[in-house]
Every structure is written in C-alpha cells, then in structure tokens.
C-alpha cells in the first residue's frame, strides 16, 4: 500500500512516497533555512509563501524519484499540526485537492507522532511497546508507545523545548540559526565539565522537564564574564550546556524505562541528530540492557517520510479524515 505524504509544518517543504509504512520510495525535502537565517529564526509569513512556491515541483520530484504516477497512490497523509498555521494550511490545501481529484482517502497526521514513526523506517524490526523520548524544535515529550497508533504521554516540558533551548543558547553565543548543529560541533572540542550549569529535575519522581532556568543561567554567565572582561570559551559553554541537557534527559528517560520495565527506547525529533546525545544514550542503553533506536540523521529533522509512516499506521487502524479536516497549530499528542 502506497501513501503520498506531505509535510509543511515549519520551514521544510517535503513530499514522500512510502510503502507499507516502512519503505521509502522517495523523500524530497526542500529546506528554507538559508532564507530564515538572515532573520535569526523562522519568519512564518515567508515560510508559507515559500511552501506555495515550491510544493508543485516537490510533488513532481517525489513521483519521479519513486518512479510512479499519481494513480498508483492509495491514500494521502498530511501533517495537520502542530506547527505554523499558515505553513500547515499550504500542505493541507494541497493534500485535500489531491485527495478530492484522485478520489482517495485523506489521513491527517500529528507531526510529533511522525517524528516517533521515523524510527519505523530506520529500524525495520522496531515494534511497540517502547518508550519514546521526543526532542524537537518545539516539543519535549516522554511517551509510552503502547501500540502503532496508541501514545501515552508521561512527561513534557513546562517551558522551553530542548531544540528551542539549543537555538536560544546558540543565539546568545552569536551563532547562526539553527543553533543546534553548531552547539553540537563546538561541544566536540569543548570541555563539558568546564562550567557547572544547573540540572533542573523538578519534583522527585517527576517526568516533566524545564529548560528555561538553564538558558537563563547561561545568559547570566555570559553577562558576568563580559562585565569582568574575562574571555569566554564558547566551546566550553556549548559543551557544558549540552552536558547539562543530556544529564537531565537521560536521568528521566532511564528512570522511566526502569519503572515501566520497558526494554526498548526510541529517540525522535531534530535534536536526536545531536552526536553527544547519540553517544551517551548508546553507552547507557548498553550498560542497562536497553535496545536503543534512533532514526538515520536525515529522518531526525522534518521530512514527509515520517508523516507517511505515521499515516499508514493510522490508516490501517481505521482512521480516515474528511475534506473538512482542519489544521491545528497547537495539536497535542
Ligand atoms: P517540532 O517538531 O517540535 O514542531 P521542528 O519541526 O521545528 O519542531 P525539528 O525539525 O524536529 O523541529 O528539529 C529542529 C531542531 O533540532 C532545531 O531546534 C535544531 O536546532 C535542532 N537540531 C538539529 N540538529 C541538531 C544537533 N545536531 N544537535 C542539537 N540540536 C539539533
Ligand atoms: Mg525545520
Ligand atoms: Fe519537527
């Protein structure tokens, strides 16, 4: 069964053809990063316009790459939220037009479920139940994935998302948008023990997160150093920040695995591309006998393939959207 998947929730226009939820026949991703870089972050109105400009060509490329025609598609999967409302609307309108004209079903997909499902594409043997740690640009969740279309949220951030913290700290260090990959790179040469930034664990037993205090601690540190006219080693700041994030993420994730007795962990979202997180989670999982799944690098950040995977599992579990489907910028998991 083939789905044509459409993703336009933020600043990537992506269309993919996915077979049976796990196999990529094509996955075209057009990123707007270079345009938004000038503004230090995504400008919603520009994002919407750019999606409109390229989406038809992306569809052509996706079909060509998969070597199929529109009549070979069984149903359409499209991101319904969360994301930027104008950006989501472009993909949604395009998806509805295709569904209507081809007379095939339309499936609305939650973008965050998509991030989790990227693991099904990279790891053909992964099956629920498992624990998922979602660390993306706008969201942070600990989830018990009990079935292919069943998600139980156990913890979430109370303020900044992990990716947001990376991007804000990078900005304070004068690094270009998106900051996450830059912090990752600098951390490889910096000393993670140079500065002891706070680890916020919240209440004992809590699986929620809070990263705004850490961000503020870094801003304060940078201001104090500037006032004292002392040199700031940005590699050390980056590495110490990254380690503080990893300590909190890993403590809560492995505690949850222990408490639920689950033996599989999947990491998802753009920050799953972080090499420090990949290394430390790989080591800890090995120590504790947990099987670890992380998507291939190009499937960590936004792409339509993951939307096609989540769409497939919704579809076979009986879900079907109507042409009245609305986008929801704040759709929750
Ligand atoms: P959401 O999925 O929550 O709606 P989004 O789609 O904008 O948000 P993603 O595509 O999942 O976010 O990921 C983008 C985020 O990942 C950015 O915050 C970026 O800085 C971060 N990121 C990407 N690569 C790395 C890396 N190597 N290390 C740390 N962060 C990274
Ligand atoms: Mg993006
Ligand atoms: Fe995303």
**Both 101 and 172 in a single domain?**
no
| CA–centroid distance, residue 67 to ligand 2 (Å) | 27
Closest ligand 1 atom to the C-alpha of 301? 10
d(CA 212, CA 217): 9
Residues with Cβ < 8 Å from 275, sequence gap 6 or more? Answer: 184, 187, 188
Give the ligand with the smallest distance to the CA of 245.
Answer: 1
For residues 20-33, average pLDDT = 97
Is 321 assigned to a binding site?
no
Note whether residue 58 is domain-resident. Answer: yes
pLDDT at 247: 98
Binning pLDDT at 50, 70 and 90, where does residue 25 land?
Answer: very high
- Tens-digit pLDDT profile for residues 167-189: 999 999 999 989 999 999 999 99
Are residue 259 and residue 235 in the same domain, yes or no? yes
254: in domain: yes
Answer yes or no: is 325 within a domain: no
pLDDT in tens, 156-171: 999 999 999 999 999 9
94 and 38 within one domain: yes
Are residue 145 and residue 217 in the same domain, yes or no?
yes
Examine the domain organization and report whether 284 and 306 are in the same domain.
Answer: no
d(CA 189, CA 166): 17
Q: What percent of the chain has pLDDT over 90?
A: 99
Residue range 74-120, pLDDT digits in tens = 999 999 999 999 999 999 999 999 999 999 999 999 999 999 999 99
Residue 79, pLDDT score: 98
Can you give the CATH number for the domain in which 65 is found? 3.30.420.40
Q: Is the ipTM of this complex over 0.95?
A: yes
Centre of ligand 1 from the C-alpha of residue 102, in Å: 34
Q: Is the minimum distance from the CB of 155 to ligand 1 under 6 angstroms?
A: no
Query: What's the pLDDT score for residue 58?
Result: 98
Give the pLDDT score at 281: 98
At residue 48 the predicted structure's pLDDT band, cuts being 50, 70 and 90, is very high
Ligand 1 midpoint to CA 327 (Å): 21
Closest Cα to atom 20 of ligand 1: 180
How would residue 150 be classed by pLDDT, with cut points 50, 70 and 90? very high
Cα radius of gyration (the chain): 20
Give the pLDDT confidence of 245-284 residue by residue, as tens digits: 999 999 999 999 999 999 999 999 999 999 999 999 999 9
This prediction has a pTM of 0.97
The pLDDT of residue 141 is: 98
Q: Identify whether 213 is part of a domain.
A: yes
Residue 332 lies inside a defined structural domain of this protein:
no
Q: State which ligand 1 atom lies nearest to the alpha carbon of 184.
A: 28
328 is in an annotated binding site: no
**Are 286 and 304 in the same domain?**
no
- Count of domains observed in the chain: 2
Regarding whether 153 and 270 lie in a shared domain, the answer is yes
Closest C-alpha among 307, 329, 324, 325 to residue 24: 307
Q: Which of 270, 277, 301 to mutate to test the pocket of ligand 1 (most atoms within 8 A of CB)?
A: 270
Pocket test for ligand 1, best of 33, 301, 310, 331 (most atoms within 8 A of CB): 301
User: Which residues, by Cβ under 5 Å, contact ligand 2, an ion?
Assistant: 10-11, 302
pLDDT the model gives residue 75? 98
Average pLDDT over the chain reads: 97
Same domain, 92 and 161: no
Which domain, by its residues, includes 283? 128-297
Mutation test residue for ligand 1: of 36, 80, 137, 304, the one with most atoms within 8 Å of CB: 137
- Ligand 3 center from residue 225 Cα (angstroms): 34
């Amino acid at each position: 069964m083939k789905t044509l998947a459409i993703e336009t929730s933020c600043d990537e226009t992506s269309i993919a053809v996915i077979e049976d939820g796990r196999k990529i026949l094509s996955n075209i991703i057009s990123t707007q990063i270079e345009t938004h870089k000038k503004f230090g972050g995504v400008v919603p109105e520009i994002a919407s316009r750019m999606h409109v400009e390229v989406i038809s060509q992306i569809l052509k490329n996706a079909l060509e790459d998969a070597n199929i025609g529109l009549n070979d598609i069984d149903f359409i999967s499209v991101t319904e939220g969360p994301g930027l409302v104008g950006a989501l609307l472009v993909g949604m309108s395009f998806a509805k037009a295709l569904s209507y004209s081809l007379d095939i079903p339309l499936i609305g997909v939650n973008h965050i479920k998509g991030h989790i499902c990227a693991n099904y594409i990279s790891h053909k043997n992964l099956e629920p139940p498992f624990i998922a740690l979602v660390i993306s640009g706008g969201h942070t969740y600990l989830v018990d994935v009990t079935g292919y279309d069943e998600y139980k949220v156990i913890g979430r951030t109370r303020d900044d998302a992990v990716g947001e913290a990376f991007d804000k700290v990078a900005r304070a260090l004068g690094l270009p948008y998106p900051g996450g990959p830059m912090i990752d790179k600098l951390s490889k040469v910096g000393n993670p023990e140079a500065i002891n930034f706070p680890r916020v664990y919240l209440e004992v037993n809590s699986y929620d997160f809070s990263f705004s205090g850490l961000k503020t601690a870094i801003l304060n540190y940078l201001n104090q150093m500037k006032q004292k006219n002392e040199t700031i080693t940005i590699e050390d700041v980056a590495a110490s920040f990254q380690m503080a994030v990893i300590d909190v993420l890993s403590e809560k994730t492995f505690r949850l695995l222990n408490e639920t007795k689950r033996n599989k962990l999947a990491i998802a979202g753009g920050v799953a591309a972080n090499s420090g997180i990949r290394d430390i989670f790989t080591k800890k999982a090995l120590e504790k006998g947990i099987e670890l799944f992380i998507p291939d690098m190009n499937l960590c950040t936004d792409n339509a393939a993951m939307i096609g995977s989540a769409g497939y599992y919704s579809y076979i579990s009986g879900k079907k959207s109507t042409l009245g489907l609305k986008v929801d910028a704040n759709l929750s998991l």
